[in-house]
Amino acid sequence: MLNKPCKIINQDNGTIKIYGNGHARELLYFFELPEKYQKIALEDYDYMDDIEEEGIFFVYKNQLYSLDDFQNIHNKIYNPNPPAWMLGYDGYNNDSFFSGLLIKFPDNDDWDNENGIIVYTFIAG
């Protein structure tokens, strides 16, 4: 069950609700993951040639995600016309036609993996 949305965006074709608390989640390399999530990563991300060197992960709602799962919102080649409501975020990953996750790197000049990323859930309806 999701809590009260932190942002509601009304559009002509419906409403988008964004849920999240704004707290950063630490990004982890494969070797930093708990053993439970290492096993999941080896199964789910077997396409990575060298998962121990390439993989950067985070856990959100007990689900493992890789940054590779997310599309860059600001990439003009692969995402030339992102919806205006997405422009305040850095990446997205749809889990259905109407919902998914948004990620945002903290606005911080000293950003690194330990500063993490902020993850939100969005639902359109």
Domain limits for position 83: 7-124
In a domain, 2, yes or no: no
In a domain, 57, yes or no: yes
> In total, how many domains does the chain have?
1
pTM: 0.87
In this predicted model, what pLDDT tens digit does every residue of 4-42 receive, in sequence order? 778 999 988 899 999 998 888 999 999 999 999 999 999
In this predicted model, what pLDDT tens digit does every residue of 95-115 receive, in sequence order? 999 999 999 998 766 656 567
Task: Indicate whether 122 pLDDT > 90.
Answer: yes
In this predicted model, what pLDDT tens digit does every residue of 41-95 receive, in sequence order? 999 999 988 898 888 999 999 999 999 999 999 999 988 899 999 999 999 999 9
DSSP conformation letters of 45-110: TTT-TTHHHH-EEEEETTEEEEGGGSEETT-TTT-SS--GGGTTSSEEEESSSSEEEEEE--S-TT
